Structure formats: C-alpha cells, structure tokens
Structure 1
Amino acid sequence: MSTDEPGPTEWVGRGDAEVGVGPWDEAVRGPVPDDPRLDRDLLAEGDRRNVVDAYRYWTREAIVADLDTRRHPFHVAIENFGHDANIGTVVRTANAFTAAAVHIVGRRRWNRRGAMVTDRYQHIHHHETVADLVAWAADAGLAVVAVDNTPGAEPIETAELPRDCVLLFGQEGPGVSMDARSRADLTVSIAQFGSTRSINAGVAAGIAMHAWVRTHADIDRAWR
C-alpha cells in the first residue's frame, strides 16, 4: 500500500463528532498521489465512510479488490426462511474477519440495516435451499459446519474447525434447521452458563468466526 495513506491519528473526531478525514490538503500533505485507487470526489470532499484508515480516499472497487487479496478461506452461511433481522450483523462481522463470502439460504431479501454498508465490500451469494448450499460447498471442497446448541454437538471451544469450511447459522429462536443439521459435516455448540437456551444469532456468528481466526488466521496481517 502507498505510504501516503492517512494514519490513525488523522481521524477528525470520535463519539458525536464526525469521523474520517477531510479533503486532501496539499499544503499539509503535498500533491495528491498519482494513484488509480483513489477516488477524486472523496479527495475533494473528504472521506467519512466506515472504513479502516488504510482505505481512506480509495474507491469502493479498489477496496474490494484489495480485500480479495486478504480474504480467508472460510465462508459464512445463514438461513433466512423467516426473514431474520440478524443477517446484517452477520454480514458486518464477516466483513470484519474477511470471510471469503456470505451465503443467504432461503429468502433472497434480507434486512441490510445491521450491515452498516459493509455489504458493499463483502461478496454475498444466495441459495434457495440448504441442499443447494451443501451441493455448492461440496463442489468447492468446503466442509459444512453447523453452529447450534443441540444434543450431540461438539463444543466449539475444543473442536478442530476445518480451515476450508462454511460456518452455517440458523435463525434467531429455532436455530439451525433439522435439514441443515442432517446435511452438515460437523455441528458445534458454544458454551453457555446462563438461563437462556440460545444466544443471538449475530453474536454466535461472531464467536464462531473468531474461533476460526484464532485457529487459522495470520494475526500479523490484522489491521493495527
């Protein structure tokens, strides 16, 4: 990456103040770099997007292309037979951990509000049924790992998550469907100690993705 990218100290503000960077100031930074990744409108108007500082002023297409060189070999899938409101949160978290892609199973439409615009940078695919997803995963050489607190599930805290896999999540409440559990190569559970039978699907997805990261990711490549 270019050394001309603004650093962490160049945020305009935190909390209620604007975040990001203002217009490129040639008096302070010198001439605008001759870099095709940079967006001329953002350079002129400032960049207030929810992106890491290394991507300030970059075009969306350039960010996606760079993320494609950093993506991890795990995928995330979530069932959407009841129009689950947690899907946006799952997409946002998948983007944070650079999942290869997110797969929506069932209804094509989903609530994007929780994604906080991160769906612009994340590859998202749709499958009509669980069988379609499993068939696609088999062709791609990916194990399907269902995440659900169900009898017979292996604790995720001690399970060996496959490196090349699809982490499959169910809807809030019913969890992973019986069809999905029967087709999965492995089902893992998340240890809980309170009175509630299950935790929020978006939270469960974050825990499972981070478990994968702790096992397989190169932490030195994380943004600092």
Structure 2
Amino acid sequence: MKRIESEQNASVKQWKKLYTRKEREKKNQFIIEGPHLVEEALTHSVPIAHLIIDEDFVIPHTWNAHELDPWIVPKKIMRLLSDTEHPQGVIAICRMAEDNLEITPHGKYLMLDGVQDPGNLGSIIRTADAFGLDGVILGQGTADLYNSKVLRSTQGSLFHLHVVKGDLASYMKECQSQNVPVIVSALEGALPLTETKEAGPFALVVGNEGSGVSEDVKAAADRLVYVPMHGAAESLNVTVATGILLYELQRKAK
C-alpha cells in the first residue's frame, strides 16, 4: 500500500478538483465516497483508477479489491477530500462509462428534459433502477450525472443500469423507429395516466421541476399523459410523479 502524508501532494490536489464538472469532463473521471458506493462500484465492475482509504479503514474481505493498490492517507487528508460532513474513510476515483445507449424494440426507457436538482436526479435514477428500466437518457439542462449529490442520491443505482447524456430529439426518433412509443408527462392536452393503453415497451419523458417538458419534446410525443390528483395540491415533485408514472406503465406491461 502507498501512503500520502501531505495535503500539498499533487495527487490530492488533482482528486479534489474532481468535484468540479470541468475537471471531471477533462479527466473522464469522477469521485465517489463511502463504503456503500465503493462496494457497489466494485461489485458492478466499474473501472476504478484509485482507491483511497484513511489509516483506520479496514477493507472488507468481501470486496473484490485485490487488484487495487490503495493509497493510505491520514484523517486530515480524508477530510480534505471528502464532500460530506462526516467522512466515511474510503474514496474511489472512477472512470466514466461510455456515453451511448442502444435502443431496442423491447426496451423501456426514461428520458429527462431539464431536471435540474441533483437530489431529484439521483432519486429518479434510483427509481428507474427499482422498476428495471433498460436505460435513462439525460437531456439538455439536466443536472450533471457525476455531481456528488447525484451520486449519493442514486445509492449505487447508477452502477446498475445504463445512464447516458444525449439529445432527446434523436433518442425519441430512434425509439419511434423501433416502435417504442414515446409517452410525455404534461398537463395540457394530456390523457389521465390511467386511460393509457400501452402494454409493452415505452419511453417516458419527464421534465423540469418548474416548467415541465419543453414544447418541442411534447410536439414529438406519441402520447401526453398526466397523473390524476384528488387533493388540493397543484403539482407533484418530479421524482414522485416519475415513480407513479413508471409504476403504472410497468403494471400495464405485465
């Protein structure tokens, strides 16, 4: 094992920069923290460039980490590298996955049009994982996938399914060419979700927390749907709405 003692070490400075989107995209790397996320990355064969542990952290024997040569750092450096109030003793520097997704005629997909809140994005990815989707596409204006809050909110689901950034118009056309109906969450001109007849593959599009799905995306949809509400609330949080929509679409697909 290798040791780093100085906060001025060049590697420490470089790793810390990975909390910025610009540096992540430049290096094609991102940083994850905590035993749960690191274990999920190892379990699902995410390429790990560096494993960093503090001097008191014991690598669990169940981790498939025998090929890694961890860096050991004192707690002051772990605190410096951590993005949380209470560091958990382990950090990994991971390589980003390839940014492309093949659409198939039997697939089920989720597309996000400008979902800006990192916590919402992470929770939506976790929800998509729970419903067994084949892919999630992040459209323009959506929060950065590798933002630390997004990563924590996914609880490892990022490593379980295919999540890519891409042009929604292109992916929508590809879905339609494969006879996968594109269903867009909207309010005006939409049918209640309960009245939709889809019973197979689908591509669901949900939108920005404030303005919803863009007009161009709605215009290209096969179907506009909304979640019927019976109380006085004007709208649902995008994560909650996505969960309801996916539940109903998956229920009808069975």
Decide whether aligned partners of structure 1 residues 163 and 178 sit closer, same or farther in structure 2, where only a CA change above 3 A counts. same
- Separation (CA, whole Å) in 2 of partners of 1:166 and 1:189: 15
Give the TM-score normalised by the residue count of structure 1.
Answer: 0.60
Using the alignment, how far apart are the partners of 1:185 and 1:45 within structure 2?
47
The code of the aligned residue for 2:61 comes to A
1:124 aligns with 2:163: yes
Q: 2:171 aligns with which of 120, 130, 133?
A: 133
Contact 1:154/1:189, CA 8 A, preserved across alignment: yes
Letter in 2 for 1:44: H
Alignment deviations for residues 191-210 of structure 1 (CA, whole Å, 9 cap, x no partner): 11233321011111110111
Counterpart CA distance in 2 for 1:38 and 1:203 is: 27
In 2, Cα distance between equivalents of 1:133 and 1:85? 24
Q: Is the 8 A contact 1:86 1:201 kept in 2?
A: yes
- Match status 1:143 vs 2:160: no
The answer to whether the aligner puts 1:112 opposite 2:129 as a matched pair is no
Partner of 1:87: 121
The aligned length equals 156
CA-to-partner distance for each residue in 1:19-44, whole Å, 9 max, x for gaps? 9xxxxxxxxxxxxxxxxx999xx983
Could you say what secondary structure the match of 2:137 adopts?
strand
Q: 1:156 & 1:192 partners in 2: Cα distance?
A: 11
Out of 208, 214, 218, which is 1:171 matched to? 208
The answer for the alignment partner of 1:3 in structure 2 is: none
Match of 1:102 in 2: 136
Residues 112 and 137, structure 2, Cα contact 8 Å, conserved in 1? yes
Q: Does 1:44 align with 2:61?
A: yes
Q: Given that residues 201 and 253 in structure 2 are in contact (C-alpha distance below 8 angstroms), is that contact kept between their aligned partners in structure 1?
A: no
Unaligned 5+ segments in structure 2 are 1-35, 37-42, 46-58, 65-105
Hey, what's the Cα distance between the residues in 1 that align with 2:208 and 2:133?
20
Whole-Å Cα distance in 1 between the matches of residues 166 and 114 of structure 2? 10
Is 1:86–1:172's contact at 8 Å kept on the other side of the alignment? no
Residue aligned with 2:243, SS: helix
The alignment status of 1:197 with 2:234, answered yes or no, reads yes
Q: Which amino acid aligns with 2:194?
A: E
Matched, 1:78 2:117: no
State the distance in 1 between where 2:205 and 2:44 align. Answer: 36
* 1:82–1:91 distance in 2 versus 1, CA, 3 Å: closer
Aligned-CA RMSD value: 3.1
Deviations 1:114-154 (A, max 9, x none): 211110111112213x3222222223331110012x12211
Deviations, residues 165-199 of structure 1 (Å, cap 9, x unaligned): 10110011211111111111000110112333210
Task: Find the aligned partners of 1:131 and 1:152 in 2 and give their Cα distance.
Answer: 20
1:169 counterpart SS class: strand
Residues 80/207 of structure 1: CA separation in 2 closer, same or farther (3 Å cut): same
Residues 91, 118 of structure 1: 8 Å contact kept: yes
TM-score scaled by length of structure 2 = 0.54
2: CA distance between counterparts of 1:158 and 1:138? 21
Counterpart CA distance in 1 for 2:156 and 2:129 is 10
SS at the partner of 1:44?
Answer: coil
- Matched residue, 1:186: 223
Give, as a single letter, the amino acid of the residue that structure 2 aligns with 1:197.
E
* Contact in 2 for aligned 1:74/1:165 (Cα 8 Å): yes
- Check 1:166–1:158 CA distance in 2 against 1; reply closer, same or farther (3 A cut): same
